[in-house]
């Protein structure tokens, strides 16, 4: 029997209990899934960083911590978490992010707000076609690459930027400092899908924002610290940035007095870009447990040195 501890907010237990059991059965795993195993009897922890479990010291035989979230910035610094840590790559979450990003890119591209707000006159405006609208994705991982490919299929010329060199059909892939400059210099729409690490903090700052074509639009479903907020507000005020759609923030929920709420050229969404989906995520977790039991390498292992 494999002992799996579920450690997330209590409400998540109802969401995940049956999908996890079904996925374990499907994978042929004999699992005792509980909220309350004795820590020294636990083989795997299915984990959300906002759970009460923060001290992994007593989990002496735990073979891996399997995160329910894609982002791991809240746990990479936990010195008691010495066992392998896997982040969530879930086809359901990825599909949700592709839909959310595509929707918001199309909102900007087609100037949908204008059609909604101008309801008192007949004033046709012909937007450019997608192939005339360069879009840049910062981050070409599980989510960034899926969004990039979806946007490229619509016809947008898509540039992507990552830490290591990449090759993705139909996408101009760049990396490194020079690559970032090039990726931003043509971007009419920029989407941030980077993890929050020391190397990505304030990646959009006064200097990098000034590289964008005037009036560029920014979409951030990645993490709040990717953007220097004061620099973005200043760039919005001068028109260097035309509009920003922000789903994630340094402090969440976004405090009521935060200037983003009142800014006419900012759309705030409450960290809803993409949600982990219980059925598909459970299958991803079952596959990693199957691998652990078979002595195979875990998928989506977090590199603690890089922080993602
Ligand atoms: P991945 O780890 O698969 O991809 C991360 C990408 O960022 C990779 O392409 C990586 O490069 C690149 N990267 C990392 N560090 C750097 C750097 N210093 N310079 C340049 N590129 C860098 O993550 P996911 O795609 O799964 O998720 C991305 C983020 O999306 C998550 O970390 C999370 O913060 C956020 N997220 C937000 C959600 C929401 O609802 N708002 C939902 C889910 C996730 P390389 O390919 O070379 O490794
Ligand atoms: C995640 C998120 O990291 O929801 O999964 O932001």
Ligand 2 atom closest to Cα of residue 275: 4
- What is the structure's pLDDT at 46? 98
Residue matched to tokens 């910062």: 138
pLDDT in tens, 154-206: 999 999 999 999 999 999 999 999 999 999 999 999 999 999 999 999 999 99
CA of 79 to the centre of ligand 1 (A): 22
pTM of the model: 0.97
Domain locations in the chain as residue ranges: 2-90+276-294, 91-268
Which residues, judged by CB distance below 6 Å to any ligand atom, belong to the binding site of ligand 1?
70-71, 89, 93, 139-144, 162-164, 193-197, 199-200, 221-223, 247-248, 271, 273-274, 308
Give pLDDT tens digits for 111-157: 999 989 999 999 988 989 999 999 999 999 999 999 999 999 999 99
CATH number of the 2-90+276-294 domain: 3.40.50.720
Averaged pLDDT score across all residues of the chain: 97
Report how far residue 39's alpha carbon sits from residue 148's, in angstroms, rounded to the nearest whole number: 42
Q: Determine whether domain 91-268 maps to CATH 1.10.287.3510.
A: no
The SS3 assignment for 182 reads helix
Burial readout 38-65 (b: 16 or more C-beta within 10 A, e: otherwise): ebeebbbbbbbbebebeebeebeebbbb
Per-residue pLDDT for 238 more than 90? Answer: yes
Pick the closest to residue 25 from 35, 17, 14, 13 (CA basis): 17
Give the pLDDT band (50/70/90) at residue 62.
very high
- Look at residue 125 in the predicted model and tell me its pLDDT: 85
- In the structure, which protein residues have their CB atom closer than 6 angstroms to any atom of ligand 2? 69-71, 88, 276
Question: At residue 143, what are phi and psi to the nearest 5 degrees?
Answer: -85, -45
Peptide bond into 253 cis (omega under 30): yes
Q: Nearest residue CA, atom 5 of ligand 2? A: 69
Fold agreement between 2-90+276-294 and 91-268: yes
- Ligand approaching nearest to the C-alpha of 8: 2
| Ligand 2 site-directed mutation target among 16, 93, 223, most atoms within 8 Å of CB | 93
Confidence label for 84 from pLDDT (cuts 50, 70 and 90): very high
**What are the structure tokens assigned to 277, written together?**
């989906």
Cβ atoms of 33 and 13 closer than 8 Å = no
CB 111 within 8 A of CB 105: no
Q: Six-digit token pair at 270? A: 């409450």
Tell me which residue has its CA closest to atom 15 in ligand 1: 163
Is residue 13 predicted with pLDDT exceeding 90? yes
């Amino acid at each position: 029997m494999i002992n799996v501890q579920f450690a997330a907010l209590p409400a998540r237990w109802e969401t995940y209990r049956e999908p996890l059991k079904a996925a374990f059965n499907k994978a042929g795993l004999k699992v005792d899934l509980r909220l309350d195993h004795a820590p020294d009897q636990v083989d795997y922890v299915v984990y959300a960083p906002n759970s009460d479990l923060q001290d992994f010291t007593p989990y002496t035989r735990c073979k891996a911590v399997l995160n329910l979230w894609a982002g791991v910035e809240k746990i990479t610094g936990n010195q008691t978490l010495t066992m392998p840590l896997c982040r969530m790559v879930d086809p359901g979450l990825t599909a949700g992010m592709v839909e959310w990003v595509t929707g918001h890119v199309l909102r900007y591209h087609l100037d949908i707000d204008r059609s909604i707000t101008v309801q008192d006159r007949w004033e046709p405006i012909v937007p450019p076609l997608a192939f005339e609208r360069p879009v840049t994705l910062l981050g070409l991982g599980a989510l960034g690459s899926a969004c990039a490919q979806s946007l490229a299929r619509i016809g947008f010329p898509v540039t992507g930027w990552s830490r290591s060199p990449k090759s993705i059909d139909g996408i101009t892939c760049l990396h490194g400092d020079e690559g970032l400059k090039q990726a931003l210099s043509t971007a009419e729409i920029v989407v941030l899908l980077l993890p929050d690490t020391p190397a990505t903090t304030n990646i959009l700052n006064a200097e990098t924002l000034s590289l964008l074509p005037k009036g560029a639009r920014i979409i951030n479903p990645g993490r709040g610290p990717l953007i220097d907020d004061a620099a973005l507000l200043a760039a919005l005020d001068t028109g260097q940035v035309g509009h920003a759609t922000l789903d994630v923030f340094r402090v969440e929920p976004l405090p009521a007095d935060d200037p983003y709420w009142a800014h006419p050229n900012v759309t705030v969404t409450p960290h809803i870009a993409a949600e982990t989906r219980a059925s598909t995520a459970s299958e991803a977790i079952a596959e990693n447990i199957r691998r652990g039991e078979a002595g195979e390498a875990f998928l989506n292992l977090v590199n603690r040195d890089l922080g993602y």
